[in-house]
Amino acid sequence: MVDKTVRQIWGMGLTRRGALMTAAGWASLSLVTRSHADDEVDDVVKQLIGRSAIESDRIRLSMPRVFPNGYTVPLALQVDSPMTSADHVKQVHVLAPRNPIVEVATFHFVPERSRPQVSTRIRLAVPQFVVAVAAMNDDALLMAKTWVEVATNGCS
């Protein structure tokens, strides 16, 4: 009986996440959209950078958790790196997966010459994870993401 119901649900084209979401109900909706955003982040990184990045505490992305307007949201990022020719950050990509145009900026650093730390201000259309991916000289991809709530659309 249960089996049949389950089969019917899958038969209706519901995904596992969809079924779970229905079961969990509205109370946890924001949680579910966030976990959906997690998958979105992975997809976007693979699509734009070519492969998955590993979340690492060597890269820190600091942004306000809540910001009134999406037109000028402060962003600061920093990567722990000795910046020697043997061990350095080549570039850091910043992505906003729920903006109409996902790529935000790419910062290029030079070993012995610049420190992998930068601050700027960006536009966000809707609440979302902002993602920073550092490409290291040994081809490792290190990632950090932070959830930012904006009240007004900064991209319109």
Can you give the binding site for other proteins, defined by CB under 8 A?
Answer: 71-73, 96, 99-101, 103-110, 112-115, 117-124, 154-156
Residue number, 44 or 73, with CB nearest to other proteins: 73
Q: Among 84, 134, 126, which residue's Cα sits nearest to residue 106?
A: 134
Residue number, 36 or 108, with CB nearest to other proteins: 108
Distant-in-sequence contacts of 76-80, Cβ < 8 A, 24+ apart: 76/117, 76/118, 76/119, 77/107, 77/117, 77/118, 77/119, 77/132, 77/144, 78/116, 78/117, 78/118, 79/116, 79/117, 79/134, 79/142
Q: How far is the CB of 138 from other proteins (least distance, A)?
A: 21
Residue number, 34 or 90, with CB nearest to other proteins: 90
Q: How far is the CB of 51 from other proteins (least distance, A)?
A: 20
Q: How far is the CB of 14 from other proteins (least distance, A)?
A: 34
Residue number, 70 or 141, with CB nearest to other proteins: 70
